[in-house]
Amino acid sequence: MFDSEQLGPVNSRRCPHSTCKSRPLRRPSSDTGKLAAPRRLLASIITRRYPSSFTLAPSRASSRLNLFSRHFDSKPFLELNTPFSTERSAPLEDDQGNLAKPKAPNIAPAEAIKEQTPKKLESREKKPQPVMSSQAPHPALLIPGPIEFDDAVLQSMSHFSESHVGQPFVNTFGEVLSMLRKLFQTSDPASQPFVLSGSGTLGWDQVAANLVEPGDEALVLHTGYFADSFADCLETYGVKATQLKAPIGERPQLHEIEAALSEKAYKILTVTHVDTSTGVLSEIKTLSETVRRVSPDTLIIVDGVCSVGCEEIRFDDWGLDVVLTASQKAIGCPAGLSILMVSGRAIETFKARKARPTSYFGSWKNWLPIMQNYEAKKASYFATPSPQLIHALHTSLTQILSRPLAQRFEDHKAASQKIKKAVTSLGLKQLASKPENQANGMTAIYLPDGITPPDVLPSLMKKGVIFAGGLHKEIAAKYIRFGHMGVSVTDSKRPDINKAIESLKDSLVEVGYKAD
């Protein structure tokens, strides 16, 4: 290794090369700051080993960061269709409409931290944490999806890699499709379950790409943010979407729907069974009866992302055409699967299209034969599925169907009533004020005046509970959302629900709220 002392007084040394022995080495003067090439190399080596007074060239990282920062502009050229951008930038207002200054974080001064004795710190470290199954300790995830997962479901995700066209996996996939028929309560051989890699949103694209064509009319029943998004998806595919809106916390009434259906012919009607932004539950059975009576050719499309697995759905008995959902909510499987049940009538509508489907990946022309073959236990291929997620879904569906569905729905209803009773006892209100509009898998709770989600969510997290903030862009800063689905409800050994209720009470007290 080189040592700085080896440089020594330059004038006392001469270049060792035979061609320049007579030329003394000279140290560059301080005013020029230039080194000969060999010495610059030597200096750079020394600097890396022994950082000293050598000056490095200015870094170009700042210019690259400036480029990155353009992607994080608070006002992008194209506004995102999500309330979260509004949530982050929306100013909070007090009761008089004045801008409210954000509260300073409650951070202890450095001196106070230093004064803590090792004994106190040790006692904090040894504080027992609640045990939740055999998973690593973590806060209970009680948002409206994703939800807590059963150990066996997560273990299924670690299934060894296998061929997606091998018979063992084909058998598993086929059983998944058969079990989905039982979950949706359909025995009609003309209906068809679909399971594609993707989020619940992919279900919207499948409906828009396969069942309607540019210029077709769609009636979208609005109970919250997700109706806006479904309408936006339909319009992306050239469909004319008409929204029938209800006030926040309400749902369109049957006489309003009947009047709308009487005005023009709609190819499809969409309804969000449970809108995750408001916790509003739509009544599907009577809605379907109304549509069948007034506009029998209109296909009935149910967005069941936050309802399948915790709310009753009778696909055949209620005459539904599509129910779309996702894996990560009440079904209790990690996110990544778009799940649909499609009626024989909808399949025939698809086959009668005048134009080819307006999506390639989401086209039923590609997926229908694949699903039919998988269900018949025949290997088939269009695009690679996720074997690990399919195994996890298989495990979750096996657990769900191991006892009567009616009992599962009753368990969710009982847990929901317990939570809503606790919310009322605290003097709080729900977005869905009428019992018939209240979902059984989640509760959207208005916070007391002057209290916002950032005031209570961190406190809940410290207590081992995770709730979600508001999602409806008009009132996002005024409420929180409590998800109660899946194993947190059905597993009697889990303390999730009771713990969440107590944590909510304590967190509100900590910010100065006193129930009446």
β-pairing verdict for 337-342 and 192-197: antiparallel
At 132 the pLDDT is 54
Identify the segments of the chain with pLDDT beneath 50.
Answer: 1-38, 41-43, 45-65, 67-78, 80-81, 84-95, 97, 99-100, 102-128, 130
Burial of 460 (0-12, 13-18, 19+ CB in 10 A): buried
At 13 the pLDDT is 44
Task: Identify which of 226, 127, 199, 147 has the alpha carbon closest to the alpha carbon of residue 466.
Answer: 147
At 498 the pLDDT is 97
At 448 the pLDDT is 97
Q: Is-contact 327 389, C-beta < 8 A?
A: yes
Over residues 177-231, the pLDDT tens digits come to 999 999 999 999 999 999 999 999 999 999 999 999 999 999 999 999 999 999 9
Over residues 243-265, the pLDDT tens digits come to 999 999 999 999 999 999 999 99
Q: Is-contact 326 339, C-beta < 8 A?
A: yes
146: preceding bond cis by omega (within 30 degrees): yes
At 370 the pLDDT is 98
pTM here is 0.77
Task: Identify which of 385, 390, 393, 337 has the alpha carbon closest to the alpha carbon of residue 149.
Answer: 393
Q: Is-contact 479 455, C-beta < 8 A?
A: no
State how far the Cα of 351 lies from the Cα of 344, in Å rounded to an integer.
11
Q: What is the 3-state secondary structure (H, E, C) of 414-427?
A: HHHHHHHHHHHHCC
Helix (H) or strand (E) holding 206, with range, is helix 201-210
At 40 the pLDDT is 52
At 11 the pLDDT is 43
Helix (H) or strand (E) holding 443, with range, is strand 442-446
